[in-house]
Amino acid sequence: MAFPAPFQNYALGDAYDEMFAAPAAPREQFQALYDRLQELPLAELRRRKHTADQAFLNQGITFTLSGRDEGMERIIPHDLLPRIITGAEWAVIETGLTQRIQALNEFLRDIYTDGHILNDKVVPRDIIFSCKHFRREMRGVQVPKDIYVTVVGTDLIRTPAGEFVVLEDNLRVPSGVSYMLTSRQVMKRAFPELFQTCDVRPIDHYGQALLATLREQAPDNRSDPTVVLLSPGVYNSAYFEHSYLARQMGVQLVEGRDLVVHDNIVHMRTTGGLRRVDVIYRRIDDDFIDPLSFRPDSILGVPGLFNAYRTGNVTLANAIGSGVADDKALYAYVPQIIRYYTGRDPILNQVETFLCSKPKQLQHVMENIGSLVVKAVGESGGYGMLIGPHSSKAEREDFLARIQAEPRNYIAQPTISISTAPCFIGGSGVEPRHVDLRPYILHGEKTTIVPGGLTRVALRKGSLVVNSSQGGGSKDTWVLN
Amino acid sequence: MDMLSRVADSLYWMSRYLERAEHIARVLEVYLSEQLEEYTGDDNNRWRTVVESIGLQAPDDLVEEDVGHWMAFDLSNQSSIVACIMSARDNARQVREQISSEMWEHLNRLFHRVRAASTTEDWSADQHEFLTEVKEGAHLFQGITDSTMNHGEGWHFIQLGRFMERAVSVSELIKVHFREHIPADDEEHHEGGDLLKSCTAFEAYCKVYTADFKPLRISEFLLLNREFPHSICFAIDQVEVSLKALPQSADRRVGDRALRLVGKLKAMLSFSQIDEIMAIGLPVFLAEIDRQCNQIHIALHQIYIEYPVETAIQF
Amino acid sequence: MFFSIRHVTRFQYSAPVSESNMEVRMRPRSDGNQRCIRFDLQVNPRSKPNSYKDHNANTVHYFDVPAQHAKLTLVASSVTEVDEPEVLPAALPMSAWDEVDEVNEGAEHWEMQNPSLFAKPTPLLLALAKELNVDRREDPLTILRQLNGDLFKAIEYSQKATRVDSPIDDAIRSRKGVCQDYSHVMIALVRNLGIPCRYVSGYLYPKTKLEERSALGATHAWLEAYLHNHGWIGFDPTNNELCGVRHIRTAVGTDYADVPPTRGVFKGRASSQLSVAVRIHPTDSPTDEEDDFISVAAATNDIQEVEIPTWDALQQQQQQQ
């Protein structure tokens, strides 16, 4: 059976397609969208697309370019069509991520305090100690309510078999949640009728949930805690998100220079005098947070902040040193970590990973580099990555040399054809593009995941790289009741 | 919610810089049109006076032909129009989420326009248009600010920046003007028209005094008129209004200082008669205004922005 | 044996500064063969220091001075009891290397067996290792003893050759340096053999006033190597000695970067000048009054000129001699 317009160019490949099980046979959750798209004239789709783009621009949902066009702002490319997930699929994701994050939090507590998992040799010490984001200074520091990770963004992909698996955890300062929230606002206006028929679960309460999670981690005896969001400032590419989230929560957006520590108490400078700060949702990396304790050349940080933190007078979310748990080499051990702390198998599987620091696995990588994806452990955003099947001989040789020079710095994974979802392309029709999914997990005394997340899409045809720095865009994610 | 000191500081400076840009645009426009008419043709140093009247020192290698460009575009001149608008925008950018998006967009657009203009080789053809654009841009920004932003604490810091800058720059302008043109009481004073124009005061003055340009009256108008928005008296009144609207400082000793200083200056302006001022000497009076404005500025900074941490920590 | 120590540190700023935040590692450790009985830190302008134990179990005092100041003075006074360390055998069997490798495998002392900021294997260091025959030809203890003496001979003691933040290559190239350089070089060489090795900051009570290198009126530095069954063994290559009762340890770490006696930042555009005076007084009982201190000497060093970006932070460090 052939695809009707506007799907005339829809080609199904090896990848799992989110919308179609077979040509012109949409999965149940997409039926309403499928019908609607056939009713709407192309011109109307284009009009809605234009209105949506305009809404992003007007709301200032932009990222700042550096370099030649300094100060110019662009909108993140946004696709008009929602990605739809069933309630049953979501239930698995939700329980799986909850299990995973709770285990990773327990892992962080363990390695910074008792070290049982190291003594039991489940995770080798050298993997931890050689990790760039391991903070020796955190050893023995009492973290409020033992919560190390408050905000997590975990990247999921869907395999050709249709299974959601974990590709990467982001436990330091995951970004993108503002795109999830604003794109929902825009989509409600672009497809109001569809939105209602589909019974989409809401996500608008994210700001309140984040604030509640942050407040419950305040130091004891602070009955009405003051929460602030600490940003590196306007020149940071995620500044829009910082300011957006501060507004959503109704808290101050501060920079390091607004804060001052005296006698282990953190204050912010206001026109009415100094105000005590209890919880800091920080969007600054560990290295830069306190020039006294970490990088002395940091001009973004607050001298003495770590002392106030160690004393328990202020909460930092996420905790310092949480990045060790999203190291790409440590990732290979996460299934064992989950089993160690929960006594159960992981609910969500993950991608097989080869550590170049282990001689046997390195051997495998060297021999099969043409079919693997190689990643530098310290990089993110799609940088420092080689996609074997799409690479040239020179690129592969370059990577082999780099791997041999610094094996600890590289891991490899099989190339997975990640799932595709329908996108409105070039104003002329609907075509499949590769997507991933980043749900945002709030972890406190309980774990909250707003249903959905950021679906990132590789807008270039055939591309598997969804990062916005590499030509990726985003689309709204609907979880159905 | 309390306002961060840094935010208040940025709003204050954003506003001061924009006011300064507008002021310079006005002074420069008057000078350029005066050049066209060439009735000051005998005064070879006129341009130096103009530079001084906006509180600047002309660099040694500056020549008459370039003075317009230097005042408008030269980025090595921190008080050129473009540099001021750039600084205003930089400050606005630091507090983008505190101002309305209309304000930001307008200021950003103004910045991009003047920057584009500054890169054109020969600006003399469009100079009038450029200066008009700057003036209108600044006026529009004020209007947008007043109608799109909450008239809360932030807005009052914007007011403070605007009127502090205005008081200081008008005072400087009068000072240099009457240094060059020693005022004799009854003589007709043609140059006074230019001084008034530099403060957008020409029409307003004529409505009060007719087109009868007497140094005494001009001085009275620019110094003491309570209704004209570019008079020093008006500016200080506005400073007092905004200062009273700000939250009280935690430290009462310094908290009252700014208000006390403004009150003193306001009293001096309210109760002075122009003949008394002339009796003391205009330069002495202007120097006093300047000194007191500077004290107010410092007090504002010490109370709200850079207060010493050790005095603020009191539990 | 008891030692009363008075350690005075003065910072003089070229212009007034404010919001000083400082960390101090001066309290002698209570482990191994020593116990700190009393410790007191006075700060002027007055500030109340807080303290914590860092990840290497060093006691760190910290404080902040918010008000403007042009001078900052720290006076640390302590009384510490030190016993003679364990007597070591003349040599170990060659099988001790197996134990070294076993320790390595477990990664118990991972940080102390891997390269660190100042102690890392550069090409010059590897060349020096060859030159001094640093290899496993003898048992670990014998090799360490030999290396301690060989470095003492290879590097000339000189206070002018290096700075507080000099990389080891400077000392290796010029064959000159101070205790900090001797220690960093030896640590890198020892780790290269697979033996965990750590930097020690502390005080050395001199045997006689003239003969011994370093320690006069200043802090001293040496190193400790870890051998199974013996624990951490102190070596002082600056003086070609095994550490004894006269070595008083205040802090240990991977290298100097972990254990500077003072480290701080302040607000203000200024350079700082640092002067240090240390007086050590041995007694038989822990009750001596402070007045008994005899000045041994005073050392002044290192004017740091630093151009600072917007936030005007300045590192304040002191080279260990």
pLDDT > 80? residue B253 = no
Report yes or no: A388 and A413 within 8 Å, Cβ to Cβ: no
Q: How confident is the model at residue C215 (pLDDT cuts 50, 70, 90)?
A: low
Q: Is the dihedral of CA B93, B98, B101, B106 positive or negative?
A: negative
Confidence of residue A56 (pLDDT cuts 50, 70, 90): confident
Residues of B in contact with C19 (CB under 8 A): 309
> Does A268 contact B4 at a Cβ distance shorter than 8 Å?
yes
Given a cut of 60, whether residue A169 has pLDDT beyond it is yes
Interface contact A291-C309, CB threshold 8 A: no
pLDDT surpassing 80 at residue B124: no
Instruction: Provide, as residue numbers in chain C, all residues whose Cβ is less than 8 Å from the Cβ of B309.
Output: 18-19, 66-67
What would the pLDDT profile of A243-285 be if each residue is shown by its tens digit?
999 999 999 999 999 999 999 999 999 998 899 999 999 999 9
Sign of CA dihedral A105, A108, A111, A114: negative
Chain B residue closest in CA terms to C67: B310
pLDDT at A190 over 80: yes
Percent of chain C with pLDDT over 90: 74
pLDDT of B133-150, one tens digit each?
Answer: 999 999 999 999 999 999
Average pLDDT score over residue span A365-393: 86
Domain ranges of chain B: 1-149, 150-315
CB pairs under 8 A between A and B: 64
* Higher local confidence (pLDDT), A353 or C305: A353
C19, C54, C311 ranked by CB distance to A260: nearest = C19
3-state SS class at A428: coil
CA distance, residue B306 to nearest chain C CA (Å): 12
Q: Bridge partners of C59?
A: C53
What beta strand segments (E) does A23-109 contain?
25-26, 62-64, 73-75, 83-85
Show the tokens assigned to B22: 């507008």
Note whether C114 contacts A130, CB cutoff 8 Å: yes
Q: How confident is the model at residue C287 (pLDDT cuts 50, 70, 90)?
A: low
Q: Is the pLDDT of residue C311 over 80?
A: no
* C61-89 residue pLDDT tens: 999 999 999 999 999 999 999 999 989 99
Say whether pLDDT at A159 is over 70: yes
Position B38 scores a pLDDT of 62
When pLDDT is averaged across residues A188-196 and rounded to a whole number, the result is: 89
The three state secondary structure string of B211-252 is CCCCHHHHHHHHHHCCCCCCCHHHHHHHHHHHHHHCCCCCCH
Which pLDDT belongs to residue C321? 54
Q: Distance between CA atoms of C191 and C314, rounded to whole angstroms? A: 32
Amino acid, single-letter form, for residue B293: C
Q: How sure is the predictor about B228, in pLDDT bands with cuts at 50, 70 and 90? A: very high
Would you put residue B200 in left (φ > 0), alpha (ψ -120 to 50) or beta?
Answer: left
Ordered structural domains, chain C, with CATH: 2-82+261-304 (2.60.40.2250), 97-258 (3.10.620.30)
Q: Domain map of chain A by residue range?
A: 87-174+202-342, 354-414
Residues in A whose CB is inside 8 Å of some CB of C read 124-126, 129-130, 136-140, 256-257, 260-264, 291-293, 296-299, 303-304, 307, 310-311
Q: What is the CATH architecture of A87-174+202-342? A: 3-Layer(aba) Sandwich (3.40)
Looking at the DSSP bridge assignments, the partners of residue C222 are C200
Residues 250-309 of B with CB under 8 A from A: 250-251, 304-305, 307, 309
Express as a percent the part of chain A with pLDDT over 70.
96
- Rounded mean pLDDT of A41-48? 92
Measured between CB atoms, does A208 come within 8 Å of chain B?
A: no
Query: How would DSSP label each residue in A277-288?
Result: --EEEE-S-GGG
Please state the ipTM of this predicted complex: 0.86
Helix, strand, coil share of chain C (percent; to 5): 20, 35, 40
**Of all residues in chain B, what percent carry a pLDDT higher than 90?**
48
Average pLDDT over all residues of chain A: 91
Question: DSSP states of B180-221 as a string?
Answer: HS---TTS--THHHHHHHHTT-HHHHHHHH-S---HHHHHHH
Query: How far away is chain B from the Cα of A378, in angstroms, using its nearest Cα?
Result: 31
Residue B276 confidence (pLDDT): 87
In this complex, the residue of C19, C107, C311 whose CB is nearest that of residue A299 is C311
Contact A139 C48 (CB under 8 A): no
pLDDT score recorded for residue A69: 46
User: Would an 8 Å CB–CB cutoff place B247 in contact with chain C?
Assistant: no
Helix (H, G, I), strand (E, B) or coil at A237: coil
Task: Give the CATH fold of the A354-414 domain.
Answer: Dna Ligase; domain 1 (3.30.1490)
Q: Do A292 and C315 touch (CB under 8 A)?
A: no
Nearest CB to C265; choose among A130, A292, A310? A292
Average pLDDT in the A179-189 region? 91
